[in-house]
Structure 1
Amino acid sequence: MVKDVAIGPDGDVRVEIYLTVAGCPMRDRITSDTTSAVKQVPGVSTVSVELDVMSEQQRRDLQTKLRGNQPEREIPFAKPNSLTKVFAVASGKGGVGKSSVTVNLAAAMAAQGHKVGVVDADIYGHSVPRMLGVTDRPTKVADMIMPPSAKDVKVISVGMFTAGNAPVVWRGPMLHRALQQFLADVYWGDLDVLLMDLPPGTGDVAISVAQLLPSAEILVVTTPQLAAAEVAERAGSIASQTHQRIVGVIENMAYLTCPHCDERIEVFGSGGGQAVADGLTRSLGAKVPLLGQVPIDVDLRVGGDSGEPLVLSEPSASSSVELRRIAKELLGTGRGLAGRPLNLTPVAR
């Protein structure tokens, strides 16, 4: 980080130091510590410290040096020639059934003959292994991690590395590193689709996904309730800052079918999913469709607790039919260009 040291004939010393980023919170500490240390050198009369900022290449070189000159492993899904569709399943609030939707979409896609992987990126509230019925542990082979499979879906979760039901108490940098390892160190093989179950909101993990996988497409899950819809729209609007594409909105718990009269009972109200889709369309300036409305089904919850996704155990159930239709539609959509390099070179005229 030392850019230059200049020593004048009268003991005047100028030290130039690179900061890793312009807004480095340690800039004042670095200046005072450097001044104090240099003043202790015999013959020094005055000290001036000048700060500069590293370029992107200098930051990469520093990271490589700190890793012992070992190059950083590549994320296969971030390569320009990757054919794997990546869907980041997001929500504004917890409790809207985001993980249930993720698991059943993954199981439905695998049942349709696709190679599917799931990253349980909800580090604090990981639940995917239970919902998919994963009982095996990851296997370490040299420097790679082999993920376990269940229902023909490859899965990785931080819950596979913790003892029992122990909580995960991590801050931002550790969350980022864990997600990076899940994407780069795990051997996924040739996947058709990768689903990422994100934590609620727009915190560290959502930002890390945008940095590590800029081509990932966002799938927003909400309920019809106005309070949930407003927060879901807020969570989806992160795409305007990360330059990602929102592939659509899924309204979960849309209604309950009366077991006696077959009428629809709107337990949580109505219209929330369409309101989110319309709001995101207006704010992003691109069409965001409502992909489907998944009804309330007790068996959907039972299947999540027992590790048997409803789309497999009861494929004729109304919730299963809707989820399988959404899964088929998602895999039939073309990948957006957001976050993908176009390999274009400007030409002067």
Structure 2
Amino acid sequence: MIDRAAVEAVLNAIPDPATGRGLVEAGVAEGLTVTADRAGFVIEVPAARVAAYAPVRDAAEAALKAMPGMSRVSVILTSEAPAPARKASLSREAVDQGRPRAPVPTDRPSHVRRVIAVASGKGGVGKSTVSVNLAAAFARAGWSTGILDADVHGPSLPTMLGLSGQPEYRDGMMEPRRAHGLLAMSVGLLTRSDDAMIWRGPMASQALTQMLTQTRWGTEDQPLDVLVVDLPPGTGDVQLTLIQKTPLDGVVIVTTPQEVALADARRAHTLFQRVGVPTLGLIENMTGDVFGRGGGEAEAARIGAAFLGDLPLHADVRRAGDAGSPLAEGEMAARFDAIVVRVMAAG
């Protein structure tokens, strides 16, 4: 049983470069979580000091791993958003509606040509399954493709791609994991999913920022053609952080056919429309006798977006996800291939 006081003592033996005090005493170990056999926290520093704190992160991680009974350690180093980016300029329309608009995005992950988000208004519609198989379809079409699991409260990418273990760091950047022809990054590779669920909103947003901008998605010689970003459900902090941080080339919205899901998909479309991100189209997932059919196509027509296709409930999709391998052939893979063609036509 790991004792919190013992963890704090270990961390206080590591000096903060800025103050010389221990990491806990200096307030550097943010959101420290200690459970029966694991511990984790976030180090948030100005962007200019990330390199200086990389050895601190490594020392803290090594010291915690050396504690008897410690089975899992997660130390995330991330940078603060610059002050101007934290202030959203308010348009007349936004003031009238009482909703401040997100700042104009000014950055994009290095060496990434296109960033496409996959969103849904509610959970349980199969958004992550669609994201993984959409990314795999991009790769089959000859595009160099990455996928970022931005669902920081419920990461599923490691399971769906059969990945485990923390990413390597090199020259201050995280190296994405490679699986099934894709470059991949997920908060599930940085910390356990049950740890992520207790993070405060700002910590979740900073984790997304780190994965987005401090991952080596491509190089000057070999840029990434497309980065697929699997967003969490809803219209909250993580979505707004992504919009703030990087220009999006478009969003694909996933819904199921029934009205309760369509209403939430409509809200997601409205969010992206207000901040100037084009909806590339809607995908109707889980089409069939259980949830019905046709609702997604009708909703696409209602909001003036392309209908990208429907995906029936199919055992092959479930088996592929459980096995940690995206679809590679068969009827459902062909449906995703067709959707990729329509996405690029819409974009």
CA distance in 2, matches of 1:77, 1:327: 27
CA distance in 2, matches of 1:191, 1:270: 36
Q: Secondary structure at the match of 2:184?
A: strand
Q: Give the superposition deviation at 1:77.
A: 9.6
Q: C-alpha distance in 1, partners of 2:169/2:209?
A: 16
- Structure 1 residues 221 and 164 mapped into 2: Cα distance closer, same or farther (>3 Å)? closer
Structure 2: distance between partners of 1:333 and 1:289: 7
Give, in whole Å, the separation in 1 of the partners of 2:51 and 2:196.
31
Amino acid at match of 1:109: F
Is contact 1:249–1:292 with CA below 8 Å preserved after alignment? yes
> Which residue is equivalent to 2:117?
88
Work out the CA distance in 1 between the residues paired with 2:226 and 2:109: 15
Q: Which runs of 5+ in 2 are unaligned?
A: 1-45, 54-78, 83-104
Q: CA shift at 1:231, angstroms?
A: 1.1
* 2:104 paired with 1:105: no
User: Contact between 2:108 and 2:213, CA under 8 Å: does it hold in 1?
Assistant: no
How far does residue 278 in structure 1 lie from its aligned partner after superposition? 2.5
| 1:225 maps to which of 247, 258, 270 | 258
Quickly say closer, same or farther: Cα 1:66–1:103, change in 2 above 3 A.
closer
Query: What are the equivalent positions in structure 2 for 1:258-269 lying under 5 Å apart?
Result: 266-269=289-292
Aligned partner of 1:207 in structure 2 is: 240
Contact 2:155 2:193 in 1 (8 A): no
Is 1:121 equivalent to 2:153 in the alignment?
Answer: no
Q: Deviations over 1:100-127 (max 9, x none)?
A: 1001111111122211111100001100
What is the alpha-carbon distance in structure 1 between the residues aligned to residue 128 and residue 258 of structure 2?
18
Would the alpha carbon gap of residues 271 and 323 (structure 1) be closer, same or farther in structure 2, given more than 3 Å must change? same
| 1:45-94 CA distance string (max 9 Å, x none) | xxxxxxxxxxxxxxxxxx678989999899x9935997612111000111
Matched, 1:303 2:320: yes
1:263 alignment partner in structure 2:
none
Shift of 1:131: 0.6
Q: Which amino acid aligns with 2:344?
A: L
Q: Pick from 291, 295, 303: which aligns with 1:272? A: 295
The one-letter code sitting in structure 2 at the alignment partner of 1:316 is: G
Q: Is the 8 A contact 1:73 1:184 kept in 2?
A: no
| Matches of 2:307 and 2:224, distance apart in 1 | 26
Q: Name the TM-score, length of structure 2 as normaliser.
A: 0.66
| Preserved contact between residue 93 and residue 232 of structure 1 (Cα < 8 Å) | yes
Change (3 A) 1:173 1:167: closer
1:152 aligned partner: 181
Separation in 1 of the partners of 2:246 and 2:291? 34
**1:323 counterpart = 2:336:** yes
Match of 1:37 in 2: none
Distance of aligned partners of 1:254 and 1:77 in 2 relative to their CA distance in 1, 3 Å threshold = farther
Measured in 2, the distance between the counterparts of 1:97 and 1:107 equals 16
* 1:55 corresponding residue in structure 2: none
**TM-score, normalization: structure 1?**
0.66
**Paired residues for 1:158-173 under 5 Å:** 158-163=187-192, 166-173=195-202
Distance of 2:160 and 2:197 partners within structure 1: 19
- Residues 121-140 of structure 1 aligned to structure 2 (within 5 Å): 121-140=150-169
Q: 1:228 to 1:139 in 2, by over 3 A?
A: same
Cα pair distance change 1:115/1:73, threshold 3 Å: farther
The one-letter amino acid of 2:330's match is S
RMSD: 3.0
Tell me, in whole angstroms, the C-alpha distance in 2 between the residues paired with 1:214 and 1:135: 30
Q: Report percent identity of matched pairs.
A: 41
In structure 2, distance between residues paired with 1:206 and 1:112? 28
* Corresponding residue for residue 5 of structure 2: none
SS of alignment partner, residue 215 of structure 1:
coil
Query: What are the superposed Cα offsets for residues 200-257 of structure 1, whole Å, 9 maximum, x if unpaired?
Result: 01011111111112334111000111111111111111023211111100000112xx
Aligned partner of 1:22 in structure 2 is none
Distance 1:307 1:65, change over 3 A: closer
CA distance in 2, matches of 1:223, 1:77: 34
Q: Is 1:248–2:281 an aligned residue pair?
A: yes
> Whole-Å Cα distance in 2 between the matches of residues 64 and 301 of structure 1?
41
Tell me the secondary structure at the aligned position of residue 191 of structure 1: coil
> Highest CA radius of gyration, 1 or 2?
1
Contact 2:119 2:252 in 1 (8 A): yes
CA distance in 2: counterparts of 1:120 and 1:77, whole angstroms: 22
